Structure 1
Amino acid sequence: MTPVARISAAIEVLDDIANRRRPAADALKDWGLAHRFAGSKDRRAIGDLVFDALRHKSSSAFAANGEDGRAIMLGLFHQHRGLDIAAIEKLFSGERFAPLPLSDEERAALAEDRLAEAPDFIRGDYPEWIAPNLARIFGAEVVEELQALAEPAPLDLRVNTLKAEPDHAAKEVTAEVGRAPERPALSTLCLRLPLEPERGEPHIASTESFLKGHVEIQDLGSQLAAEFAGARPGMQVLDFCAGGGGKTLALAAAMQNHGQIFAYDSDRRRLAPIHDRLTRSGVRNVQVRTPRPNGDVLDDLEGRMDLVLIDAPCTGTGTWRRNPDAKWRIRPGSLAERNKDQALVLDAAERYVKKGGRLVYITCSVLEEENSDQIAAFLETHPSFGVVPPAEVVHAFENEAMTTIGGAARLLAHGLLLTPRSSGTDGFFVSVLTRAG
């Protein structure tokens, strides 16, 4: 396919997403099935255009004074890819497979600086209904923070210290993917592969370093959240919302396979991948507790855990740079439902924390309603718990990891917040609580 044909296809997919209110992945899959002549490079290029357009949907559409896929694509090229009107006209020529030529109205809209006076939710590319929630946490910096959340994310790897050293793993990855990973200052265990759109994302899961368990795919923010929990060798730990086991593996490495981790999730389907991951990573101190229809599989752990980690269900606003269409599909009712789930999981997990033990609450959300508000409400009904000051959490991590967080973490009253703009990670909230001895 020619570049202009790919643009036409992306416009078609964007209109399908809007008209049928469906996930981008489903629309792209259906387009590919209906256009089997398109090769893998064509499908990838069209997907890149679609997801880039979704990252900047509001600002792009506003810049072109329209709402459909064509307007979004015009605004994307002009506002976010820096093309002038003459360059855009060469792409939108109406010639074979190219989009129709620009109308006088479209040309006039692109010639204006329409975004200069646009509302924050337009310039920051997020739904209008969630604007008050985002302004509450970010204040005057909301546009800058959300623009950072609209940028593509790099591919982060965590070095599994049970099997590899960071320097050796970096050399392995360099040899396998043909590019040297960066080493972010916030962690000695993170290998970061920056985006190279012309080459695409390397398939790490097929490399020897991954198959041998030397590295795991995990955003640096998720890595740091697990480290902030403070797991140490010899501890008794419950990963209460373990899911596929990403943080379980990080905890096991921090504990050097000494002590015991119990990995549990209320949905046994989410737990399914954990078994193969544990084997590949050389983890020997994890016991998976799979839920049963009749019976509590965690009864024997009550009041015994040094650390209980809750990777709480949330809206995922902190992952919008990886899932750009998710921010347009989220609804106010979703936030209310997640708030109920978070309160329930906090109440369910606290009984396993022993006196003097830790309860660590994590979300991949930037919203106070899912973060500080949940902790404040929990403290009101559970007076035996108190928040470890976020500055102490950071200080303990810095001493252990021999690194400096600096201004990368936003320190709040009830926890700390990482964001793409401040820390170069996905958005993560971490609150560390202790039960009085």
Structure 2
Amino acid sequence: MRFTPALFHHSKTLLSEVLRFDFPADRLVSDYFRQHRELGHADRGFVAETVFTVLRRKRSLSARCAGELTSRRLLLATLACLQGMNRRELDVVLTEAERHWLAHAKAVQIRELPAAERLDLPDWLYELLVAQFAADEIEPLAAGLNQPAPLDLRVNSLKAGRAEVLERLRADGLPAEPCPYSPLGIRLAGKPALSKHPLFIDGSIEVQDEGSQLLGFLLQPRRGEMVADFCAGAGGKTLLLGALMRSQGRLYAFDVSDQRLARLKPRLARSGLSNVHPVRIDSERDIKIKRLAGKLDRVLVDAPCSGLGTLRRNPDLKWRQTPESVAELSVKQAAILAAAASLVKKGGRLVYATCSLLEAENEAVVQAFLTQHPEFAVRSAQEILGKQEISIDCGERLRLLPHRHGTDAFYAATMERQ
């Protein structure tokens, strides 16, 4: 791929849209590529990678911009200082003033910046992480969050085994390895396009982060049980739960969004599952929920959250979320957890999970729930996973972190109704 003024223009136009933070970055990138079908696969890869690099490193890049914080300067600083493009390559887009400025930008000593700037975190998030994690863990954690995520797949155990899928992917020239923890996980190097691969088309594989897969093994649904995925979204975890149930029993996929449940339908058709029942609900207080009170064996609550554990994939979230939005979410999370718990029968299991790093969305929500619902007791995540031959050092409550486990950051508490 040759760097051209046209490619720079596409990157700058898209970055300007993304930096308004009106909509999620991945959605804006997809929309832009749909509108500009003339961009080839390599061009799209360059534009997307450059824009996401700016989002990941925006604070330290800003220090290089000498007070002129424009999309153009952020982009040039990224290309020159982070992506290693030399002056000769960039000359096709540089003005004389920019040539002079870039020499200074490259000389900025990032290690001398204040910690939050150096680690590319907003001040409020940096302060919360410092309060939660050991001092020697902050830098590796921030570095892990600032790395692009690998592509993880989940093998659909109804249709294939992991060994045969690995063999097929490697035969097709895709460097694939088993994930270290999930028995169904496969990790790919790079970002190959999989939507036209026969294994994807026939439902043998789905894209799903390894951390997300482990939530299904924590819930551990069995054949013939009544189970609910309380905040199903587009159904990644629903499909895993259905496969673990061998498509037997009844699995409800609840969500408040018709749009999200519509995205589940083609995935469900590919999966070969026949036990999934997608149900749109108005809220956690919907009459459809009340009718099932005390009847379900297992309920998974992957609660709506800040998403700050997914910064490897969604780096815009650290600039879009605020302390106020996190406080609002924790109120909503408490209400959703209490409603989901009402479905669980005696002896049944409830898993509360988020892809957030923050105690306000995790421990605080669970502790308040346990205080109000003494009939629920916490079970050890490490023990539950260990009995399924998943060896992971995660403690009583599952805490996954990118620099320790190579996954998105997840939290999960497993509770059983006494």
- TM-score under structure 2 length normalisation: 0.89
Moved more, 68-77 or 33-42: 33-42
Displacement after TM superposition at 1:59 (Å): 1.6
Indicate which of 141, 146, 150 corresponds to 2:146. 150
Partner of 2:54: 53
Q: Distance in 2 between matches of 1:269 and 1:28?
A: 19
Within the alignment, does 1:73 sit opposite 2:61 as a pair? no
The answer to whether the 8 Å contact 2:370/2:376 transfers is yes
Secondary structure at the aligned position of 1:283 is classed as coil
Alignment of 1:258-337 (within 5 A): 258-291=248-281, 296-337=287-328
Indicate which of 404, 408, 415 corresponds to 2:391. 404
Within the alignment, does 1:375 sit opposite 2:376 as a pair? no
1:8-33 CA-partner distances (Å, limit 9, x unpaired): 54345434544686654576578779
Displacement after TM superposition at 1:384 (Å): 1.3
Counterparts in 2 of 1:116 and 1:27: CA distance versus 1, 3 Å:
same
Counterparts in 2 of 1:203 and 1:77: CA distance versus 1, 3 Å:
closer
Alignment of 1:33-432 (within 5 A): 39=40, 41-66=42-67, 67-77=69-79, 79-81=81-83, 83=84, 88-93=86-91, 95=92, 97-98=93-94, 100=96, 102=98, 104=100, 106-113=102-109, 115-140=110-135, 141-176=137-172, 178-195=173-190, 201-291=191-281, 296-388=287-379, 392-400=380-388, 402-406=389-393, 409=394, 411=395, 415-432=397-414
Secondary structure at the aligned position of 2:121 is classed as coil
The answer to whether the 8 Å contact 2:26/2:314 transfers is no
Q: Distance in 2 between matches of 1:161 and 1:121?
A: 43
Counterparts in 2 of 1:101 and 1:37: CA distance versus 1, 3 Å:
farther
Secondary structure at the aligned position of 1:146 is classed as helix
The answer to whether the 8 Å contact 1:54/1:325 transfers is yes
Q: Which amino acid aligns with 2:327?
A: A
Q: Distance in 2 between matches of 1:36 and 1:184?
A: 34
Counterparts in 2 of 1:20 and 1:148: CA distance versus 1, 3 Å:
closer
The answer to whether the 8 Å contact 2:306/2:317 transfers is no
The answer to whether the 8 Å contact 1:312/1:361 transfers is yes
Q: Which amino acid aligns with 1:256?
A: R
Displacement after TM superposition at 1:310 (Å): 0.4
Q: Distance in 2 between matches of 1:270 and 1:16?
A: 24
Moved more, 11-20 or 139-148: 11-20
Q: Distance in 1 between matches of 2:133 and 2:378?
A: 22
Partner of 2:3: 3
Q: Which amino acid aligns with 1:181?
A: A
Q: Distance in 2 between matches of 1:29 and 1:375?
A: 36
Q: Distance in 2 between matches of 1:33 and 1:167?
A: 36
Q: Distance in 2 between matches of 1:127 and 1:328?
A: 7
Counterparts in 2 of 1:30 and 1:305: CA distance versus 1, 3 Å:
closer
Displacement after TM superposition at 1:301 (Å): 2.0
Displacement after TM superposition at 1:63 (Å): 3.8
Q: Which runs of 4+ in 1 moved over 6 A?
A: 29-37, 292-295
The answer to whether the 8 Å contact 1:4/1:98 transfers is no
Counterparts in 2 of 1:336 and 1:173: CA distance versus 1, 3 Å:
same
Aligned length: 414
Displacement after TM superposition at 1:234 (Å): 3.3
The answer to whether the 8 Å contact 1:418/1:425 transfers is yes
Q: Which amino acid aligns with 2:103?
A: R
The answer to whether the 8 Å contact 1:138/1:145 transfers is no
Secondary structure at the aligned position of 2:407 is classed as coil
1:115-144 CA-partner distances (Å, limit 9, x unpaired): 222222212212222222222332412232
The answer to whether the 8 Å contact 1:7/1:99 transfers is no
Displacement after TM superposition at 1:327 (Å): 2.1
Secondary structure at the aligned position of 2:351 is classed as strand
Secondary structure at the aligned position of 2:177 is classed as coil
Secondary structure at the aligned position of 2:359 is classed as coil
Displacement after TM superposition at 1:259 (Å): 2.9
The answer to whether the 8 Å contact 1:305/1:354 transfers is yes
Displacement after TM superposition at 1:185 (Å): 1.7
- TM-score under structure 1 length normalisation: 0.85
Structure 1 gap ranges (5+): 196-200
Displacement after TM superposition at 1:105 (Å): 5.0
Q: Distance in 1 between matches of 2:37 and 2:319?
A: 28
1:47-81 CA-partner distances (Å, limit 9, x unpaired): 22111221111122224544333443344345534
Displacement after TM superposition at 1:289 (Å): 3.0
- Aligned CA RMSD, in angstroms, stands at 2.8
Displacement after TM superposition at 1:344 (Å): 1.1
Displacement after TM superposition at 1:323 (Å): 1.5
Q: Distance in 1 between matches of 2:78 and 2:387?
A: 44
The answer to whether the 8 Å contact 1:7/1:49 transfers is no
